[in-house]
Amino acid sequence: MISTQSQRLIDEHKPLIAERLRSLERLLAAFGSTLAQEATPAVVFNPVTEQDVEDAPVLRYDELDAGRSRETAVVAYTQLDYGMRDRVNRSIRCYGALGVPRRIINDARVINRAKSELKDAFRAIAGKRVRTTVKDELSNDTVTVKELSNVILRQLQRSSLNLLAAYREIRALDETPQSIHFMQTLTRSVPRKTAAALLMQLRGRDDALAIADRERLKALPPNEYLVSPKAPYPRMRAHVFGRKLDADGKPARRIVLAEVPVLYPINKRTRPPDLIKPAIRGKARKHPKSYIEEDEYVRTLHYRRMQEGHRSYATTQNNKRG
């Protein structure tokens, strides 16, 4: 059972999220159908294995033919739900480039705006939670605290929605580049929350470990940030070299994330860009750990304190958002 206050919060945000999600899905369906029918240059490299090179995860890729390249790209652009074998907070990763008419470039930008609007709708409820009461095996009331976004997605029957895929921008270039150099880098996410937000998240839990964590958190300033470093994972970046020269007389360059193929406009006068595959490097540079304490301070949620001298604190406004 959801409390009256929590239900009001759900009713306030659910219609907007549902509307923007439906709009994005309609745009993606039309985009995928149009792109699948184009007979334009397409080169896509699909990941086949993920292995460690000197303790650093590295993806190896196979080059696909033009037909399979286009099919793989369409799936990468349009699939928003987790697959049966997908890992949480991971999404389809392939890289490459597709030449498309200018109208498809414009369609991609419309989709990116829809993605941004959906992200704004979820950002408005970031950190907000609802309390639900359920009966246990002995018919006793048990209070659980859940993320508002998860509750809304469950009510919309979209629990399998991968928000990373929904937010991910389709890279659409203004001009056909001279070349695109792909580079594989190593990164990891380090979520942070205030002590007050973690206390709120542990509210209602009565197991011994959660009780001990709450007591430790009460000893901290409520606006102190704690962090939860995740395992490193590889990402693909594209160094896009244009046909025009910069002030130094070198080809103008920009760097973009390339988790899905890059789109560029085609015309009869310009040949497709050269695509340079990433080299398999040795040990990748890892995120520095020196400022994070080794022992978990909040063991139930796997959060750690930052070392003294590196600790940061939320402003009053950020602390309220949790």
Class of domain 4-175: alpha beta
The dihedral of CA 186, 191, 192, 195: what is its sign?
negative
Residue spans of the domains in the chain: they are: 4-175
Tens digit of each residue's pLDDT, the chain (322 residues): 677 878 888 999 999 999 999 999 999 999 999 998 887 778 888 766 555 444 455 566 777 787 888 888 898 899 898 776 666 656 556 888 999 999 999 999 999 999 999 999 999 998 788 877 766 666 666 667 788 999 999 999 998 998 988 999 999 999 999 999 988 877 778 889 999 999 988 887 888 999 999 999 999 999 999 999 887 777 788 999 988 877 777 888 888 888 889 999 988 787 888 988 876 554 444 445 568 888 999 999 999 999 888 888 887 444 444 3
Q: In this structure, are strands 274-276 and 129-135 parallel, antiparallel, or unpaired?
A: unpaired
Name residue, tokens 């992200």. Answer: 119
In angstroms, rounded to a whole number, what is the distance separating the alpha carbons of residues 108 and 122? 21
Cα angle 13, 17, 20; round to 5: 145
Output the pTM of the full model.
Answer: 0.76
- The helix (H) or strand (E) run that includes residue 30 is helix 4-36
Residue 183: which residues within 8 A CB-CB, separation 6 or more?
Answer: 236, 237, 238, 239, 278
DSSP 3-state of 257: strand
Residue 37: which residues within 8 A CB-CB, separation 6 or more?
Answer: none
User: According to the model, what pLDDT value does residue 281 have?
Assistant: 52
In angstroms, rounded to a whole number, what is the distance separating the alpha carbons of residues 80 and 162? 6
Please count the other Cβ atoms lying within 10 Å of the Cβ belonging to residue 130. Answer: 20
Q: Are 260 and 76 in contact (CB under 8 A)?
A: yes
DSSP 124-192: TTTT-EEEEEEE-TTS-EEEEEEEHHHHHHHHTT-TTB-HHHHHPPP-B-SS--SEEEEEEEEE----E
Q: Are 316 and 258 in contact (CB under 8 A)?
A: no
Based on its alpha-carbon atoms, the radius of gyration of the chain, rounded to whole angstroms, reads 23
User: According to the model, what pLDDT value does residue 322 have?
Assistant: 39
